[in-house]
């Protein structure tokens, strides 16, 4: 158990374990959050690049998100297993090596110049990020007193928020670059930021190899790790097997959906007709759900207090995380489409841009004293004339996305401070309900009101991922590493539902696509407000392991 040895440490012990400060270790681990956020931020502005260069639809370009989150899905379990074997340090270094491999692959992908080659690079880098997230997220929760776990992981995720700001800027510079003749050169320069990341992570891996990264065990509030089942907390605790069965079945349905998406990719790239694919997916889904329902009956009967699945607050956290990442990936990846004119239908959520705004940006660009990374050309290309009206260009929308991530970062910083004073599950529920209302306003297509609401959605999404993570692994002791791998696997939601959002946007318009995040945020709110009942704890400051089940 975490102890604090003095009144001063009790007051300032956010990063104190057994009287020893681990602030430096926390800062080093937080740098990983910045790293994968830069990579993820670049992914979110890549969709529009492939739509233009390869003439893809919105739903087709969503394969970029699919490849990204497929890496999380495939590697989450191996990452959890390896973290258990090698400890936190070994898991981090392994992840960094995967990231460097994926970054260098983009050199070959640029030469091959095929969509599949870029998707492979995205998937490999995401595999590395999976190792980092599986290790770093739970690690931040044990680098100090448990009551500050949610605040600590949100503070670390603030570094993630900074990375999200720079990712779209870097992506827009290289993905939407043009030569002196105004011809796009994005396909030739796309590899540059990824190779740079590959070189940087090698240096970071060397630093971690010599750094102090103690392998700290999470607190075991539910006596999961205790071999003696007569322990008072365990003996009094009753497992609600009906609830456990339902939650495990829902997780199995989500897993079946993820596997169905993989099957969809295989069939669609093999020249199989759409009708055959639809029938195959229907049969596969139905068979998977029925098989899961049957197999989970005997499995549920064998679950003991030692199993993390006997704790509904964990098994429902995987579902909440699935839908959160689905909402986040959809809003992030289609941000550029939300800000620009649809080249096929002419629809645009953003009203006509006043001429003075273009003149102001052009004046600022030409007042720059030196031409660094073609910033002048980049800034003067933020607007374009389409259908007789001034509109935001792809490069301008990518730059605006960084403004959205500033809102995201502000949400992380303010959220980390508020989580030291207010219950994590209550804040999560309130923020989720705010986003339900905000996305409804976006769906209503109210002009500038809807545009402002898109930025507000960034702010209220800010605390969701780390808070769901902290709530999900709360009190699981040594099982926290394994549990974190399942929560990271739930990131696969970012591959599945954005595809649906893209299909709705293709059939109707981009505003209608926001019905998907509304559904997702409603589920997150339900999880948040039900967390005390699911966990048997009033808050993360304490637990009553005998009740609530």
3-state secondary structure 43-67: HHCHHHHHHHHCCCCHHHHCHHHHH
Q: Pseudo-torsion of CA 107, 111, 113, 119, nearest 10°?
A: -30
Which residue, among 497, 487, 504, 405, has the nearest Cα to 130 in the 3D structure? 487
43 pLDDT higher than 80:
no
Running DSSP on this structure, what letter comes out for residue 385? E
Query: What are φ and ψ of residue 21, in 5° steps?
Result: -80, 130
What's the token pair of residue 472?
A: 């999900």
CATH T-level topology, domain 21-240+312-340+393-535? Growth Hormone; Chain: A; (1.20.1250)
Assess whether pLDDT exceeds 70 at residue 481. yes
Distance CA 438, CA 6 (A): 45
Task: Provide mean pLDDT across the span 121-136.
Answer: 87
Distance CA 87, CA 255 (A): 27
What are the residue boundaries of the structural domains of the chain, listed by start? 21-240+312-340+393-535, 241-289
Phi (first) and psi of residue 129, to 5 degrees: -60, -30
* Distance from chain centroid for Cα 21: 29
pLDDT at 319: 93
- Provide CB contacts within 8 A for 123, sequence distance 6+: 67, 68, 70, 71, 74, 102
Whole-angstrom CA distances from 261 to 278, 280, 447, 487 are: 11, 11, 34, 19
- CA dist 127 and 123 (Å) reads 6
pLDDT at 487 over 80: yes
pLDDT tens digits for range 265-315: 677 766 778 788 888 888 888 998 899 899 888 888 887 777 888 889 898
Digit-coded pLDDT (tens) for 372-406: 545 555 555 676 666 666 677 777 787 788 788 88
Strands (E), 358-481: 383-386, 389-392
209-213, 361-365, 459-463 — which one is most confidently predicted on average? 459-463
| Percent of the chain predicted with pLDDT > 90 | 14
Tell me which range, 170-179, 206-215, 361-370, 392-401, is most confidently predicted by mean pLDDT.
206-215
Higher pLDDT pick, 356 / 255: 255
Contact call for residues 195 and 284 (beta carbons, < 8 A): no
The tokens 């139905």 sit on which residue? 286
Residues in the chain: 549
Summary count for the chain: helices (H), strands (E): 23, 4
Cα→Cα distances 210→38, 95, 206, Å: 25, 16, 7
pLDDT given at position 321:
93
Identify the CA nearest to 156 among candidates 41, 28, 18, 320. Answer: 28
| Burial of 131 per CB tally in 10 Å (0-12, 13-18, 19+) | buried
Q: Cα–Cα distance between 346 and 388 in angstroms, integer?
A: 11
Structure tokens at 262: 């993989």
**What pLDDT does residue 3 have?**
39
State the Cα angle at 59 between 186 and 398, rounded to 5°: 40
Residue 539 corresponds to which tokens in the numbers above?
């808050």
Higher pLDDT pick, 144 / 525: 525
Question: CB within 8 A of 343, min separation 6: which ones?
Answer: none
Phi first, then psi: what are they for 542, rounded to 5°? -170, 165
Lowest mean pLDDT among 14-18, 76-80, 275-279: 14-18
CA distances from 74 to 23, 259, 513 (A): 33, 10, 27
**Distant-in-sequence contacts of 335-338, Cβ < 8 A, 24+ apart:** 335/44, 335/45, 335/397, 335/400, 335/401, 335/404, 335/454, 336/45, 336/47, 336/48, 336/394, 336/397, 336/398, 336/401, 337/47, 337/48, 337/58, 337/505, 337/510, 338/397, 338/454, 338/510, 338/511
Cα–Cα distance, 392 to 381 (Å, whole number): 9
């Amino acid at each position: 158990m975490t102890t604090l040895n003095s009144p001063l440490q009790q007051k300032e012990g956010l990063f104190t374990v057994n009287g020893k400060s681990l602030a430096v270790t926390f800062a080093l681990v937080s740098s990983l959050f910045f790293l994968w956020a830069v990579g993820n931020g670049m992914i979110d502005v890549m969709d529009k690049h492939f739509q233009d260069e390869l003439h893809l639809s919105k739903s087709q370009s969503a394969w970029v998100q699919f490849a990204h989150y497929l890496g999380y899905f495939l590697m989450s379990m191996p990452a959890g297993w390896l973290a258990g074997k090698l400890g936190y340090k070994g898991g981090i270094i392994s992840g960094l090596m995967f990231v460097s491999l994926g970054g260098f692959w983009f050199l070959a992908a640029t030469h091959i110049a095929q969509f599949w080659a870029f998707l492979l690079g995205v998937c490999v880098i995401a595999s590395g990020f999976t190792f980092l997230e599986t290790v770093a997220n739970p690690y931040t929760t044990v680098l100090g007193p448990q009551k500050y776990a949610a605040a600590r992981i949100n503070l670390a995720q603030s570094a993630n928020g900074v990375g999200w700001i720079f990712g779209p800027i870097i992506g827009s510079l290289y993905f939407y670059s043009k030569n002196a003749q105004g011809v796009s050169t994005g396909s030739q320069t796309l590899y540059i930021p990824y190779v740079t990341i590959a070189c940087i992570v090698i240096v970071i891996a060397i630093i971690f190899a010599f750094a102090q990264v103690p392998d700290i065990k999470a607190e075991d509030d539910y006596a999961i790790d205790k071999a003696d089942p007569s322990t008072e907390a365990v003996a009094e605790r009753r497992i609600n097997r009906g609830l456990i069965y339902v939650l495990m079945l829902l997780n199995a349905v989500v897993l079946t959906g993820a596997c169905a998406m993989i099957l969809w990719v295989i069939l669609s790239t093999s020249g199989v007709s759409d009708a055959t694919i639809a029938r195959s997916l229907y049969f596969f889904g139905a068979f998977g759900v029925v098989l899961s329902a049957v197999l989970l009956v005997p499995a549920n009967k064998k679950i003991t207090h030692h199993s993390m699945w006997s704790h509904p607050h964990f098994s429902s956290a995987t579902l909440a995380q699935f839908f959160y990442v689905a909402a986040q990936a959809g809003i992030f990846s289609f941000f550029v489409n939300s800000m620009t004119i649809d080249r096929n239908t002419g629809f645009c959520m953003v009203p006509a841009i006043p001429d003075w705004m273009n003149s102001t940006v052009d004046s600022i660009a030409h007042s720059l004293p030196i031409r660094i990374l073609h910033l002048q050309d980049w800034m003067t290309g933020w607007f374009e004339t389409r259908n007789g009206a001034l509109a935001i260009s792809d490069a301008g929308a990518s730059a605006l996305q960084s403004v959205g991530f500033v809102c995201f970062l502000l949400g992380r910083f303010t959220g980390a401070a508020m989580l030291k004073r207010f219950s994590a599950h209550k804040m999560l529920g309130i923020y989720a309900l705010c986003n339900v209302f905000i996305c409804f306003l976006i769906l209503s297509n109210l002009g500038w009101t809807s545009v402002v609401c898109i930025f507000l959605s960034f702010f209220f999404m800010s605390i969701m991922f780390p808070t769901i993570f902290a709530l999900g692994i709360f009190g699981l002791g040594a099982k926290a590493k394994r549990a974190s791998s399942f929560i990271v696997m739930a990131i696969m939601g970012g591959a599945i539902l954005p595809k649906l959002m893209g299909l709705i946007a293709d059939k109707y318009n981009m505003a209608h696509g926001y019905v998907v995040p509304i559904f997702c945020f409603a589920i997150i709110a339900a999880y948040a407000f039900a967390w005390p009942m699911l966990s048997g704890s009033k808050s993360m400051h304490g637990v009553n392991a005998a009740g609530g089940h």
